Structure formats: structure tokens, C-alpha cells
Amino acid sequence: FSLCNFRDLIYSRTMMNKVFGGTVHRKSVREDGVFSITLDNSCSLFRGLQKEENVLLTHGDSVDKVADGFKVVAQSGNIAAAIANEQKKLYGTQFHPEVDLTERGMDMLRNFLFEIAGCSSNFTVQNRQLNCISEIREKVDKSKVLLSGGVDSTVCTALLNKALNQEQVIAVHIDNGFMRKRESQSVEEALTKLGIKLKVVNAAHTFYNGTTTLPISEEDRTPRKRISKTLNMTTNPEEKRKIIGDTFVKVANEVIGEMNLKPEDVFLAQGTLRPDLIESASHLASGKAEVIKTHHNDTELIRKLRDEGKVIEPLKDFHKDEVRALGRELGLPEEIVSRHPFPGPGLAIRVICADEPYICKDFAETNNILKIITDFSASVKKPHTLLQRVKSCISDEEEEKLMQITSLHSLNAFLLPIKTVGVQGDSRSYSYVCGVSSKEAPHWDSLMFLARLIPRICHSINRVVYVFGSHVKEPPTDITPTFLTTGVLSTLRQADFVAHSILRESGYSSKISQMPVILTPLHFDRDPLQKQPSCRRSVVIRTFITSDFMTGIAATPDNQIPEEVVLKMVNEIKKIPGISRVMYDLTSKPPGTTEWE
Ligand SMILES: *[C@@H]1O[C@H](CO)[C@@H](O)[C@H](O)[C@H]1NC(C)=O
Ligand SMILES: *[C@@H]1O[C@H](CO)[C@@H](O)[C@H](O)[C@H]1NC(C)=O
Ligand SMILES: *[C@@H]1O[C@H](CO)[C@@H](O)[C@H](O)[C@H]1NC(C)=O
Ligand SMILES: CC(=O)N[C@H]1CO[C@H](CO)[C@@H](O)[C@@H]1O
């Protein structure tokens, strides 16, 4: 039995000759998109489907003639979208049955597995739960299990509680002061309902006042170290993470010390999921994440347990949606189960800290290029040295579309003097954000188009955001000094709470994989005559849709999320004291990572 994507076949020359008789047509540009295909629903693969179905198709390589024994069983225009040899039970599709965008893809896979290949299904959440439970019992036996973590570990805690005796499970939650509003309470409440006692350690002030040791300077290779500033005075993202990691180790060691646990009697449980493993294996996605994760758990006891193979990860074969199903099965409330993933260092990495603006020597030139892009229809009429640079980065069709957009809409684009993390080529970079504002109401398709174009033309730009509100005439060129202090965090916590409550009430929470809300040190619209100091901050809403956790897109308002939901978030966030403007991140990954830091 075989079901595969054309592309896999096409790149194997022997398969290509065998199946297609050597006639594959290659186009220079590949484009994925949702297309309606016409299919032959007498073919076993398509049984029960309509004659027309929407699928995510890869236009690119296509088949002109099929080999003997095969026939074309689906078409998109004059392109073969699927071929089959029913006798040999071989099937090939030019589209992706495995993605959500192929509406009936699951039915096709079901047909293939159960009707064609004769598989039967026992890989159910219930069965897997039973398997997990017997594995845990066998491994842990009479020992104790220690767990620490936030909401991500709640399902793991509930599972262990079901598998073992109550006194064997020790659940600790260290509140680092970077949790969301009501997060620690809701974890505690949900676990209490299941009869699990959670030890909550409030360590917020220890974290804000935490320090780490750093090399004397970047050039200094000697083991000499200096003590960093306290976290509440640190702006460098790497240093912030390192302090949080070190402080976690310090607090965890204290807690473990107080409990008098003997290493020989203890197992350590972690709520690691399949995507965590995938994510840390991919250099594109992980960056420093892996380092941070090990660092976090690197207490003396934990290291010892790891060396002895006494770390258990019962959810390591589960994907996020499967963990959610398991959580429901275990009786956890929907609020906890359907919550979006949240990073370990929490809100700390969603505050862009700064004590000075980020303005490098390319600032002015990049702003000039941005002007040419947003005034493209006028710029092409007068010669400009930078115009050629813009043109050399875009295709003819893109040039045409840019002409059209810039003649229809009055947009302006400008650099914002802050840094965020992104992926350019194969490496991480900390670089500028580009803001776009418009005189008219936002036209989202055009903005998304610009957001794809701009980082390709200007490599020092990692992200593009839309700035809500009136046309920005004077973009800020300095910043509001911003550190991880109680006040700053409570502003972000409030904005995050408002945005997520609105998303949840709208019913679109499950359509968005993650929605970081970020606080930036940007104060717009200051009166230059009154010399008002920069004292307000601006919030960014980053909607992110992904299924593989390695790449993803921002939700387009009016397409994947209703514009009115976004506008409601914007209006409510603007009411929070100290907020200047609200922005919407338009960037896909790459070039922008999910998180801003
Ligand atoms: C499904 O059945 C197979 C064969 O009996 C077995 O090996 C496997 O463990 C079962 N899977 C689950 C999740 O129960
Ligand atoms: C902050 O930490 C330092 C040591 O690093 C300590 O001396 C000081 O008392 C702490 N301050 C507060 C307010 O906790
Ligand atoms: C940081 O914390 C220390 C000690 O807790 C405090 O003295 C200092 O004023 C704080 N700094 C800021 C910027 O809030
Ligand atoms: C036992 C323990 O502390 N596990 C934690 C290890 O670090 C990851 C990432 O921060 C947490 O999610 C685990 O809960």
C-alpha cells in the first residue's frame, strides 16, 4: 500500500520513471495555495467525497502523462492532482491531504488507512492513557515523583495522580512573577478539584532582584566573571533569560532542600510534548530555547536523577491537541485544557526592555528605502539610486501589485527604534521593527503583501507591524526607559488579559495557535513643542497560526479572525493607563519568530 505526495515521488528518479513514464513538467516557481479540484469519487481514496473539494495544492512540478496501470483520479484545471493504480493500491496526490486547509483530507486518510490498507484503530486517547498509566506504575513503583511547572504540566500532574498514590506525587509551582493574570490560581484550583495538593512558591521578588554571573566582556575568554545587574535593571534579552534560569535553579534548590527528598527515592516528571522535541531538534525554530530548557532544570538533584535515568516524560509522544483530549478525559476544566502554549520565562520575554533607542548607521537609509516602497507608484517616475535596489528584490508581478497598492492607499512605513528577534537565512538576528500606518482604514491583504516584501528588501528588518490609529507623521525616535518592574509587568498583564478574554469570548481562540501580547517602549504622538518626555508604552498583538510549530503565519483580520474582534482588543487595550498605541504584527515565521525576544 502506498499513499504519497507527488513531490516525494518526483524527486526519486526511479519512482518517477516507473510511475510517470519520465514525463514530469517542472515550473520555476512553486506556489502553494487552496484550489478546488475535480475528483473521481468512485476511486477508493475519495469514497464518500463530493465531486469538487478544496485542497492545498502545490503547483510546481506536474505530471503530463501517467505510467501504465495508473489513471488520473483528480484534476485541477488541466493539471493532474491525484493518480492511482487501484489494483496495486498505489496512490499519489499533488496536494496535501494531511493539512487543515484540505477540508476533507482526514476522510481521505481514513479511507486509505481503514478501507484500502485494512488497518484498525486502537490508537485512541483512552488506550494511550491506559498504556501511559501502566508504564508509569511499572517504572516508578513505590518511589515519589516530583513535578514543577506551570499550566503546561497540569495534564502531566493529573495523569500521574491517576496512576499513583496521592502521597507519591509532589507538585510544586514556582510563581516567578511573570505569569499571566490569575494563572497560578487557576492551576491550583483545577488541581485541587482533582484532589491534588499543589505547593505554590511565590518567588516574584526573588526573580525581580535576581542576578547571574557573566564574562567580563565579550572578548574576555578567561574564567573571570562579573555579577550582572539585577533583573529589574537589565535590558539585554540573553541576560534576562540567564538571570531567570539561574534564579529558578536557586529557588528550586531551596524548595527541594526544604522537602528533605532522598535522590534514591525520587523520580522527576516533565510535561515535555512531542512538538517540544521537534522544536528543539530544529535549529530554525529553537535558537537558544534548548539551552534555556536544560538550564532551568539543572539543579544538583535534577542532574543526578537525569544521570540515573530517573526522569520520566509520559507525554513525549503526544501532540498539543492530543494532550488537550487527554486533559479533558482526566477531568481538567476547558479553561486550562484549551489554553495556548506559554513560554517558560513568561511575560518577561514579552516586555521589550530598553534604556536607549536602537538606531544604527543604516537607520536613515533604511527609512528612505521604506519611503520608496510605500510611495512606489510616485517613486518610479523619478530616478532614485535606491529604486533599483527595491526593484532588484521583487518580481514583475510583485512590482505590478506594489504599483497598484501604493496608488490606491496612502501608507507610510518607518523604522521603530527597538530590536526584536527574527530568523534571517539560517541564523537568529536581533533587529528593527518596521511600522506601517495608513490614512484610510487598514486594507489587510495589501498590508500582508507589504509585510512579506519589506523584510526581503531590507534585511535589517525582522518584522512589520500595522500601527492602529491616525496616520503616523512623526514616528518616535526615542524610547520610554523600560525594565522588568512590578508596574511595567502589571500593565502588560492587564493588556494580555484583556486581549485573551476578548479572543476567548469571540470563539476564535482555537483558530489561533498562540497570541503573544507584547509591551514595547514606544510613545507615539508626543507634542514636540511641549517637550513632553517619552513616558507611555505601546502594545503589540501577535496572532500566530501554525500546525508544525516550525513555521507559521500571522492571522489576517477578516480572513482567519474577524476584524471586529481585533478592533475590540485594540479599543480595550487603549483604555489601560499608560498605553500609547496598539499595533498588529503582520509577520510570518520566518522571518519573524513567534515571540519577540
Ligand atoms: C494497538 O494494538 C497493537 C496490537 O495489538 C498493540 O501493540 C498496541 O500497543 C495497541 N495500541 C494502543 C495505543 O493500545
Ligand atoms: C536583592 O539581592 C541582593 C543580593 O543580590 C540583596 O543584598 C538585597 O537585599 C536584595 N534586595 C531585596 C529588596 O530583596
Ligand atoms: C530594582 O530592585 C532594587 C531592589 O529590590 C531596587 O532598589 C531598585 O530601585 C529597583 N530598580 C528599578 C529600576 O525599579
Ligand atoms: C521538573 C522541572 O523543573 N521541570 C521543568 C524543566 O524546565 C521546563 C522548561 O522551563 C519546564 O517546563 C519544566 O516544568
Asked whether the beta carbons of 270 and 316 are under 8 A apart, the reply is: no
14 pLDDT more than 60: no
Task: Give the position, in ligand 1's atom list, of the atom nearest the Cα of 130.
Answer: 14
Beta-strand relationship, 90-93 and 2-5: parallel
The pLDDT of residue 157 is 93
Residue 552 assigned as binding residue: no
The pLDDT of residue 406 is 96
Q: Which pLDDT band holds residue 233 (cuts at 50, 70, 90)?
A: very high
Residue 68 assigned as binding residue: no
CA distance 336 to 338: 6
Cβ of 120 closer than 6 Å to ligand 1, yes or no, is: no
DSSP 8-state code for residue 87:
T
Cβ of 318 closer than 6 Å to ligand 1, yes or no, is: no
- Under 8 Å CB-to-CB from 173, ≥6 apart: which residues? 148, 149, 150, 184, 187, 188, 198, 199, 200, 201
Quick: pLDDT tens for 516-530: 999 999 999 998 888
Task: Give the position, in ligand 3's atom list, of the atom nearest the Cα of 485.
Answer: 14
441 CA → ligand 2 middle, Å: 50
Quick: pLDDT tens for 357-373: 999 999 999 999 999 99
Residue 151 assigned as binding residue: yes
**Between 107 and 3, residue with greater pLDDT:** 107
The pLDDT of residue 306 is 74
Global pTM value: 0.77
Distances (CA, A) of 265 to 163, 234, 261: 17, 40, 7
Same domain, 58 and 105: yes
487 CA → ligand 2 middle, Å: 19
13 pLDDT more than 80: no
- Under 8 Å CB-to-CB from 224, ≥6 apart: which residues? 215, 216
User: What's the whole-number mean pLDDT along residues 236-241?
Assistant: 91
Same domain, 175 and 303: yes
Beta-strand relationship, 225-227 and 213-215: antiparallel
CA distance 48 to 344: 45
What residue type is 419 in one-letter code?
K
Asked whether the beta carbons of 471 and 387 are under 8 A apart, the reply is: no
CA distance 26 to 40: 25
355: in domain: no
Last residue of a domain, one of 62, 89, 116: 116
The pLDDT of residue 275 is 63
User: What's the whole-number mean pLDDT along residues 176-195?
Assistant: 90
Same domain, 159 and 187: yes
Same domain, 108 and 164: no
313 CA → ligand 1 middle, Å: 20
Q: State the cell numbers at 260.
A: 528533605
Same domain, 181 and 145: yes
Q: State the cell numbers at 225.
A: 566573571
Task: Give the position, in ligand 1's atom list, of the atom nearest the Cα of 123.
Answer: 13
35 pLDDT more than 90: no
CA distance 467 to 414: 11
Q: Which pLDDT band holds residue 27 (cuts at 50, 70, 90)?
A: low
Residue 153 assigned as binding residue: yes
464 pLDDT more than 60: yes
Cβ of 127 closer than 6 Å to ligand 1, yes or no, is: yes
Task: Give the position, in ligand 2's atom list, of the atom nearest the Cα of 205.
Answer: 14
Same domain, 174 and 211: yes
User: What's the whole-number mean pLDDT along residues 338-348?
Assistant: 87
Cβ of 209 closer than 6 Å to ligand 3, yes or no, is: yes
Nearest residue by C-alpha to atom 10 in ligand 2: 209
CA distance 506 to 570: 14
Comparing CA positions, the residue from 184, 185, 187, 129 lying closest to residue 159 is 129
206: in domain: yes
User: What's the whole-number mean pLDDT along residues 350-355?
Assistant: 97
Q: Which pLDDT band holds residue 470 (cuts at 50, 70, 90)?
A: very high
280 pLDDT more than 60: no
Cβ of 293 closer than 6 Å to ligand 1, yes or no, is: no
Task: Give the position, in ligand 4's atom list, of the atom nearest the Cα of 302.
Answer: 1
Residue 150 assigned as binding residue: yes
Report how many domains make up the chain.
Answer: 3
User: What's the whole-number mean pLDDT along residues 581-591?
Assistant: 94
Residue 309 assigned as binding residue: no
Neighbours of 137 (CB within 10 A): 11
| Domain containing residue 414: CATH number | 3.30.300.10
Question: What percent of the chain shows pLDDT beyond 90?
Answer: 54
The pLDDT of residue 302 is 66
Cβ of 270 closer than 6 Å to ligand 4, yes or no, is: yes
DSSP 8-state code for residue 333:
-
pLDDT-wise least confident of 33-47, 159-173, 263-277? 263-277
590: in domain: no
Cβ of 293 closer than 6 Å to ligand 4, yes or no, is: yes
Asked whether the beta carbons of 489 and 391 are under 8 A apart, the reply is: no
Q: Which pLDDT band holds residue 32 (cuts at 50, 70, 90)?
A: low
Quick: pLDDT tens for 131-160: 999 999 999 999 999 887 666 688 999 999
| 3 state DSSP class of 226 | strand
| 3 state DSSP class of 225 | strand
CA distance 31 to 60: 7
283 pLDDT more than 50: no
Same domain, 373 and 300: no
The pLDDT of residue 282 is 42
Sort 270 into a burial class: Cβ within 10 Å, 0-12 / 13-18 / 19+: buried
167 pLDDT more than 60: yes
Task: Give the position, in ligand 4's atom list, of the atom nearest the Cα of 345.
Answer: 10
The label of the residue with cell 536602537 reads: 358
- For 426-474, give the secondary structure using H, E and C: CEEEEEEEEEEEECCCCCHHHHHHHHHHHHHHCCCEEEEEEECCCCCCC
The label of the residue with cell 513535578 reads: 147
| Domain containing residue 214: CATH number | 3.40.50.620
The pLDDT of residue 549 is 64
Same domain, 309 and 449: no
User: What's the whole-number mean pLDDT along residues 243-257?
Assistant: 85
| Domain containing residue 58: CATH number | 3.40.50.880
296 pLDDT more than 60: no
| Torsion angle, alpha carbons of 120, 125, 130, 133, to 10 | 140
| 3 state DSSP class of 513 | coil
The pLDDT of residue 8 is 56
The pLDDT of residue 300 is 62
Cβ of 128 closer than 6 Å to ligand 1, yes or no, is: yes
Highest mean pLDDT among 102-116, 178-192, 240-254, 495-509: 495-509
Same domain, 498 and 559: yes
Same domain, 545 and 485: yes
Q: Which pLDDT band holds residue 245 (cuts at 50, 70, 90)?
A: confident
Alpha-helical regions (H) of 260-375: 274-281, 283-286, 289-296, 300-307, 320-329, 334-337, 363-374
CA distance 244 to 231: 8
Print the domain residue range for 478: 363-585
- As a whole number, the mean pLDDT across the chain is 86
